[in-house]
Amino acid sequence: MGKRPTMIDIGAMAGVSQATVSLVLNGVPQARVSAATRDRVIAAAEALGYRMGPRHAPPQEGPSLVGLLLDEVSTTPFATPLIEGARDEAAQQGVLVATFCTRGDPELEQAALDFLLRNRARGVIYASLVTREAVPPERLRELPAVLLNCFDPERRYPSVVPGDLAGGYAATDALVRAGHRRIAHLAGEDWLEASRAREAGYRQALATADIPVDPELVQRGGWTVSGGRELTLRLLDDPDPPTAIFCFNDRMAMGAYDAVHSRGLRVPEDVSVVGFDDEELAAYLSPPLTTVVLPHDEMARWAVAALLDTDEARRAWPRPLKIECPLVPRGSVARPRARAALRHQEAARS
């Protein structure tokens, strides 16, 4: 008997990631996967003779329950899509989600796991609001578990994280394709996994376009609106200021807007701006902000589907699965022709 095909095999044939295959075959609603990609995945699965196992097999007794251990709910706007994505996917499979905000406190984590074990939970989703390396409690091994927006350095658990590096590449590449060569990056704090990955994507996109990285154009310091404003003002004071800025997140992009406007300039006519996260306010800025989606909802749905899938959930993935962070083009990117022409005229006059 030949080897049973896996989602990795399907992804290789369809030219997509295993995460995309899982989203398609598990029927995750609202997943940002194009119809053409879905068709390729389904065709590859049929060609390989792949058959989905039962989505989950509830125990004969006791409630059908999974636990969501979340380290925080108030520091970022992303707790809601994580919680709601997990609940929506679980509800479609007739499963309840019990959410515990543990603040990373070992005693609270212990109490939550005690509750879940007493109530014969199907498993646990161990989640973080900030993408990071995590050291899960030892008792987590007593239940099936999936890590959400974090990963275990010892790789004991399946995990899912956003594709921040590819997202940073897509954001920068959009500016390169618009004709920009003086592209700045407002980086987040270096201790953040997401900050390092997004900056790596920025550098890769420039390298691919044969654009040298100017260290003066990489400004680091915080992830707030005020931080974005301060760093952008510093860039605009440069004798050869950037024509475009890729910001670590949408909040810094909002600060960049304010700095550009305070100098009597306009977005995107004078400076193009791209953010990251696709916060709700991004679409209501003037002009609406081109940004990159942080797919917390899809990651949470995938985590629940993987936890409850009897065939795939027990596999030990060698590295975190990465969910695509797609670019959302809006109105904050334009060609740099007006700024470049003005600078050349000023240089000629001087």
pLDDT digits (tens, 9 = 90+) for 241-284: 999 999 999 999 999 999 999 999 999 999 999 999 999 899 99
For tokens 């004709």, name the residue: 179
Report residue 28 as tokens.
Answer: 């995750």
Confidence of residue 45 (pLDDT cuts 50, 70, 90): confident
Comparing 42-56, 103-117, 187-201, 291-305, the range with the smallest average pLDDT is 42-56
Partners of 157 in the β-ladder:
none
> Residue 70's pLDDT is what?
93
> Residue 44's pLDDT is what?
81
- pLDDT, tens digit (0-9, with 9 covering 90-100), for 53-68: 444 444 444 448 999 9
Coil, strand or helix: which one is 209?
A: coil
- pLDDT, tens digit (0-9, with 9 covering 90-100), for 170-179: 999 999 999 9
Percent of the chain with pLDDT over 70: 83
Which amino acid would we find at residue 120?
Answer: R
Report residue 18 as tokens.
Answer: 């295993």
Which amino acid would we find at residue 346?
Answer: E
CATH superfamily of the 65-157+295-325 domain: Response regulator (3.40.50.2300)
- pLDDT, tens digit (0-9, with 9 covering 90-100), for 202-238: 999 999 999 999 999 999 977 799 999 999 999 999 9
| Cβ proximity of 37 and 24 under 8 Å | yes
Confidence of residue 18 (pLDDT cuts 50, 70, 90): low
Q: Say which residue, 31 or 119, is predicted with more confidence.
A: 119
> Residue 9's pLDDT is what?
72
> Residue 48's pLDDT is what?
78
d(CA 20, CA 39): 12
CA-based nearest residue to 301, from 12, 33, 8: 33
Q: What is the mean pLDDT of residues 313-339?
A: 80
Strands 123-133 and 65-70: parallel
Q: What is the mean pLDDT of residues 65-87?
A: 85
pTM to 2 decimals?
Answer: 0.79
Please write down the long-range contacts of 53-56, taking CB distance under 8 Å and 24 or more positions apart.
53/309, 53/310, 53/311, 53/312, 54/310, 55/26, 55/93, 55/305, 55/308, 55/309, 55/310, 56/93, 56/95, 56/122, 56/308, 56/309, 56/310
Mean pLDDT across the chain, nearest whole number? 85
d(CA 2, CA 261): 64
Q: Say which residue, 31 or 256, is predicted with more confidence.
A: 256
Confidence of residue 319 (pLDDT cuts 50, 70, 90): confident
Q: Say which residue, 296 or 48, is predicted with more confidence.
A: 296
Let me know if the fold of 65-157+295-325 is the same as that of 165-290+329-349: yes
Report residue 8 as tokens.
Answer: 């990795």
Q: What is the mean pLDDT of residues 296-311?
A: 86
Q: Say which residue, 235 or 348, is predicted with more confidence.
A: 235
Which amino acid would we find at residue 66?
Answer: V
Q: Say which residue, 274 or 2, is predicted with more confidence.
A: 274
Domain 165-290+329-349 falls under CATH 3.40.50.2300:
yes
| H-run or E-run covering 107 | helix 106-118
The full set of domain ranges for the chain reads 7-48, 65-157+295-325, 165-290+329-349
